[in-house]
């Protein structure tokens, strides 16, 4: 079993004819994902990697039965792409685009609350259920089917954590990056609610970073509601205050946003924290052996 994506995923790529869209379409097709359609306004009738291109998401969904969308659209058009996907009946929207203004995302998140869909991102590297489907830019070769769920605010740290888990001989059920922006569609707790009911997920790794207090809220949720073992890693221990580090949301604007405070919250609520990605994998191996 998997969460978010799987064998039943029928993927639509918004921005398929662009450099990133076309390259990652090739990678997703090679992984075995059912990429059934692409959208680029004015390019309808073309094909990319054998995938038909349509002028609108509504047309693509109507003609191919797409149920999932991945967005490779420049930031200034990305919010509109999310609206279009939601209005077309897409159930899962994965937004890879970064640099979308926070004010635009406030409006997007409010809008999709009334729609029967879920948004992951923006600034997400995507979602992988090993052996079933890959949606986004995550490198497929590092994943192995298994029982560890991984949810992260950081794309590259997701890769590192997953690679270390795989090298220990363990595998993953579903891995995703929720995005490092201040305003996102799916948070840690949303993912844990789904992992809790996934019979094939035995343990979960949470990869957090400086900025905000989502990790602290998640830690409290874990202690109160989540029964499976949870392991954590917090990036940004040496980050200076008031300086944005990489992601738009990775800025310490108070004591709650520091790596020290987040690590403390994890440990006080029963989440085992590794100092490095390798340490996290070792903790998992010890628990799941």
* Alpha-carbon gap, residue 32 to 165, rounded angstroms: 22
Residues composing the chain: 289
Distance (Å, whole) CA 217 – CA 258: 14
Label residues 163-198 b or e (16+ Cβ within 10 Å = b).
Answer: bbbbebebbbbbbbbbbbbbbbbbbbbbbbebbeeb
Contact 141, 159 (CB under 8 A): no
Q: Which of 24, 197, 225, 247 is catalytic?
A: 247
**Residue that has been written with the tokens 């207090």 in this structure:** 213
CA distances from 108 to 104, 115, 171, 276 (A): 6, 11, 34, 35
Q: How many whole angstroms separate alpha carbon 140 and alpha carbon 129?
A: 10
Q: Is 247 a catalytic residue?
A: yes
**Catalytic positions, written as ranges:** 247
């Amino acid at each position: 079993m998997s969460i978010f994506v799987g064998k039943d995923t029928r993927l639509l790529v918004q921005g398929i004819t662009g450099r990133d869209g076309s390259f990652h379409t090739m990678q997703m097709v090679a992984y075995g994902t059912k990429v059934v359609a692409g959208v680029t306004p004015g390019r309808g009738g073309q094909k990319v990697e054998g995938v038909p291109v349509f002028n609108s998401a509504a047309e693509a969904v109507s003609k191919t039965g797409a149920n999932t969308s991945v967005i490779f659209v420049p930031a200034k058009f990305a919010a509109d792409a999310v609206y279009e996907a939601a209005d077309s009946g897409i159930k899962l929207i994965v937004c890879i685009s970064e640099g979308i203004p926070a004010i635009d995302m406030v409006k997007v998140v409010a809008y999709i609350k009334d729609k029967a869909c879920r948004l992951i991102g923006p600034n997400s590297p995507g979602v992988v259920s090993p052996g079933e489907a890959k949606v986004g830019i995550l490198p497929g070769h590092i994943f192995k089917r298994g029982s560890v769920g991984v949810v992260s605010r950081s794309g590259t740290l997701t890769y590192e954590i997953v690679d270390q888990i795989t090298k220990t001989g363990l595998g993953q059920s579903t891995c995703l990056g929720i995005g490092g922006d201040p305003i996102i569609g799916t948070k840690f707790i949303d993912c844990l609610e789904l992992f809790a009911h996934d019979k094939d997920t035995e343990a979960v790794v949470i990869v957090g970073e400086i900025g905000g207090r989502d990790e602290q809220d998640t830690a409290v949720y874990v202690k109160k509601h989540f029964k499976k073992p949870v392991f954590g890693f917090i990036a940004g221990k040496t980050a200076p205050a008031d300086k944005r580090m990489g992601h738009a949301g990775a800025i310490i604007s108070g004591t709650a946003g520091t790596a020290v405070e987040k690590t403390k919250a994890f440990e006080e609520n029963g989440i085992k924290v590794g100092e490095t990605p390798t340490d996290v994998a070792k903790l998992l191996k010890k628990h799941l052996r």
